[in-house]
Structure 1
Amino acid sequence: MTASITLHQPRRLIVGAGTIGEVGNLVADATATLVIATPITAGFVDRLKLPGKIEIFDAIPGEPDVATLDAALAVARRVRPQAVIGLGGGSVLDVAKLVAALWDSEQTLADVAGPNKVAGRNTRLIQVATTAGTGSEAGIRSLITDPVKGAKIAVESPHMIADAAVLDPQLTFTVPPAVTAATGVDAMAHCVEAFTNKRAHPMIDGFARMGFRLVGKYLARAVKDGSDTEAREGMMLASYYGGICLGPVNTAAGHAIAYPLGTRLGLPHGLANAIVFPHVLAFNQRVVAEKTAEVAEALGFSANSPDALLENACLFCTDLDIEMQLSRHGAKEDALAGYAAEAHANRRLMDNNPADMAVEDVLAIYRAAY
């Protein structure tokens, strides 16, 4: 029998061009609002049409760490917002979740690390995505880098679900082609890793299928023409569906192997996942052949053999102009064994993988990608 799952989604989902202008109505009674952003996405704040006092915290790096969160919490405690708005990609949205949950709480990040430890939330949370990749606007999980350990701290709680999520494709028009490509493959990886997961569930399979089929249909179009509204909206939906997959099922070896490339090598999360994706897809084929064939068909290529699958999946990425060689991104060959040991130790994700991986298998993937 299928294991039971619990599905959490934002209380309200608003999709469509220009819908960022509806955010102000969602917080019409707020006297103070804190917007979490980056220096680039802060340029969209006026489009939110917010009432009352507005404070912007835009010091969010590509891989937010504990110091980033502490700085954002300090601003929130000064402002005492009735609403927190995340306006950005996954890093921004992850920080916004934790700020909304913790700014008026006695709990610390250490207290809430892991599943279901957040005591509650009193502040409204609106998540406005400006990229199509992480799907963080849909989910209950936040990842923060611990620079001392060089690892991700994962916090998961239904108290971090958004009151409303906004998917306005116009906000992604200026995302560069390279970022569009990498984040799009990340969205696909969320769906594929959940779909082929040991914990896969028929209902989540449905969201996953919708997600990776949208990627197959729209990602190349979005990369080619950033102002293609239909393609941009399709990719935002794919990302959202991937975010839904993360809560009850989560990712697997692909993300575990990608994480050290972010924390140790400094690669953007989407790019790290794109580099790893074809290798893990091919590794798992022997265990989940039918589902792998379904993924390949949706993406427009053959999965007749592991070699053909790997080659075609790599071509899917290189055709999007993604640089797939780790050596071109500054990786050193003598560092790969350390990455492999760290990735293999991430049992939270590795234990979800349909095919068991030894540390030697992980190292072989890094070497193949090198």
Structure 2
Amino acid sequence: MTIAQITLHQPRRLAVGAGLVGEVGPWAADAQSTLVIATPITAGFADRLKLSGRVTVFDAIPGEPDIATLEAALEVARQCKPDLIVGLGGGSVLDVAKLVAVLWDSAQTLGDVAGPNRVAGRRTRLAQVATTAGTGSEAGIRSLITDPEKGNKIAVESPHMIADFAVLDPELTYSVPPAVTAATGVDAMAHCVEAFTNRRAHPMIDGFARMGFRLVGKYLARAVRDGQDTEAREGLMLASYYGGICLGPVNTAAGHAIAYPLGTRLGLPHGLANAIIFPHVLAFNRSVAAKKTDEVALALGFGDALSEAQLLSAAHGFCRSLGIEMSLAAHGATVDDLPRYASEAHANRRLMDNNPIDMSVDDVLSVYRAAF
């Protein structure tokens, strides 16, 4: 068997540990103008960055950033002309920060850079400071923005969007509520598991994936129980980071494709959407990825050599035990919505083609019905 070639991009500098958010300012002591991209909540951490020079904070980032959000952020950047951009938040914030870094002082538009390797070059230093443990966006070269008219996500991928400095400071995640900790933790795990069982799986990425889902198995329940558990919080941030590395060369598969319409159409947070779908796709893929799926099940404490039905039950119970509401109906979906979601998810060939087994539109619909 020939092993596929991969290229791995990682931040030029990575700081992991409690209190290290304060290293951003000294690292960029020469910055004259800094734009911090945040949410109204994460903007409260801006002082901990210890920035010097002129600091502008843009904190109007919603849970699912869209084209209008990006345009507003770009307008602020053009006014303050930053020589440093800091993403301070979860995946949505970090994704917007990447795009602002490459677009604010460029002739290119979002449409020009959509897809892989179309960014002409980056002109602005970028620090990415994660405040959740879920997307791993601080590790990667990809950004997702919702197009509300089309109801889908625009994916931009470029090595020019990799962070110059990424910070994983578990203290910034202490205040993340248990429900969000649970959902984003399952999302981090899904990145690892979907890359691990992927058609494009690679031995090197398998290593990162294993480290990621094992950390989630070890620490997620602990962090949900006690948000101030520094060891558990740091373990989850590492799991999220490893998941972010998995996304670059391998990416996710059907699980994420099926979760996306729940974000763009139903308005569910990305982590929650993935948590609801995760058990169903894990079980569906078992028939062709049995050995790797068994490894995941053991790492998460489900047991050994489970049948598809047992695996679904165990994974569903794992998510529910973390306090995640696993019913789509409880989140406002209707039976009539499901076929539309299914056709949109199935049309996402960018991810669906990575799945280890082909899924028909009816297979996707059956997942939504089972999750209903």
Q: Which amino acid aligns with 2:250?
A: V
CA distance in 2, matches of 1:304, 1:20: 42
CA deviation after TM superposition for structure 1 residue 92, in Å = 0.1
Partner of 1:324: 326
Match in the other structure for 2:336: 334
In the TM superposition, what are the counterparts of 1:131-210 in structure 2 within 5 Å? 131-210=132-211
Counterpart residue identity of residue 210, structure 1? M
Mapped partners of 1:26, 1:188: distance in 2: 31
Alignment correspondent of 1:236: 237
Q: Report the equivalent of 1:218.
A: 219
* Structure 1 SS opposite 2:263: helix
Could you tell me how far apart the structure 2 residues matched to 1:68 and 1:97 are? 13
For residue 277 of structure 2, give the secondary structure of its aligned residue in structure 1. helix
328, 347, 350: which one pairs with 1:348? 350
User: Using the alignment, how far apart are the partners of 1:290 and 1:328 within structure 2?
Assistant: 34
Q: Distance in 1 between matches of 2:348 and 2:230?
A: 38
CA distance in 2, matches of 1:275, 1:183: 11
TM-score norm. by structure 2 comes to 0.99
Q: Which consecutive unaligned segments of at least 5 residues does structure 2 have?
A: none
Partners of 1:244 and 1:28 in 2: how far apart?
A: 28
How do residues 96-107 of structure 1 correspond to structure 2 at under 5 angstroms?
96-107=97-108
Task: Show the counterpart of 2:10.
Answer: 9
Q: Distance in 2 between matches of 1:90 and 1:283?
A: 27
Q: Return the offset for 1:304.
A: 1.6
> Aligned equivalents of 2:47 and 2:20: distance in 1?
13
For structure 1, the 5+ residue unaligned runs are none
**Pairwise CA distance, 1:200:** 0.1
Partners of 2:302 and 2:282 lie apart in 1 by 13
The structural deviation recorded for 1:205 is 0.1
In structure 2, what is the Cα distance between the partners aligned to 1:36 and 1:134? Answer: 17
How far 1:25 sits from its partner (Å)? 1.1
- State the distance in 1 between where 2:124 and 2:340 align: 41
Find the counterpart in structure 2 of residue 285 from structure 1.
286
Take 2:6 and 2:126, find their aligned partners in 1: how far apart are those partners?
Answer: 24
Aligned to 1:126: 127
Aligned: 1:300 with 2:301:
yes
How many residues are matched?
A: 370
Give, in whole Å, the separation in 2 of the partners of 1:181 and 1:321.
7
Deviation at 1:122? 1.1
Query: 1:54 is matched with which residue?
Result: 55
Could you say which residue in structure 2 is the equivalent of 1:83?
Answer: 84
Residue 21 of structure 1 corresponds to 22
Between the aligned partners of 2:338 and 2:184, the Cα distance in structure 1 is: 24
1:309 equivalent in structure 2 = 311
Cα offsets for 1:139-190 (capped at 9, x unmatched)? 0000000000000000000000000100000000000000000000000000
Counterpart amino acid of residue 274 in structure 2: N
CA RMSD of aligned residues (A): 0.4
1:194 shift after superposition: 0.1
By how many angstroms is 1:26 displaced?
Answer: 1.5
Amino acid at match of 1:362: V
Partner of 1:41: 42
Q: Distance in 2 between matches of 1:24 and 1:321?
A: 37
Q: SS of the counterpart of 1:285?
A: helix
In structure 2, what is the Cα distance between the partners aligned to 1:22 and 1:30? 14
Q: Tell me how far apart the structure 2 counterparts of residues 205 and 219 of structure 1 sit (CA, whole Å).
A: 20
Deviations 1:81-124, CA, capped at 9 Å, x for gaps = 00000000000000000000100000000000000000000100
Give the Cα–Cα distance (whole angstroms) in 2 for the partners of residues 156 and 195 of structure 1.
20
Mapped to 1, the partners of 2:348 and 2:227 lie a distance apart of 36
4+ residue segments displaced more than 6 Å? none
Question: What is the alpha-carbon distance in structure 2 between the residues aligned to residue 216 and residue 306 of structure 1?
Answer: 20
Counterpart AA for 2:331? H
Deviations 1:196-222 (A, max 9, x none): 000000000000000000000000000
For 1:206-253, what per-residue CA distance to the aligned partner results, in whole angstroms no more than 9, with x for missing partners?
000000000000000000000000000000000000000000000000
User: What secondary structure does 2:121 align onto?
Assistant: coil
Per the alignment, residue 64 of structure 2 pairs with 63
Quick one: distance in 2 between partners of 1:342 and 1:304? 31
Percentage of identical aligned residues = 79
- Partner in structure 1 of residue 368 of structure 2: 366
Query: Matched residues in 2 for 1:130 and 1:348: separation?
Result: 28
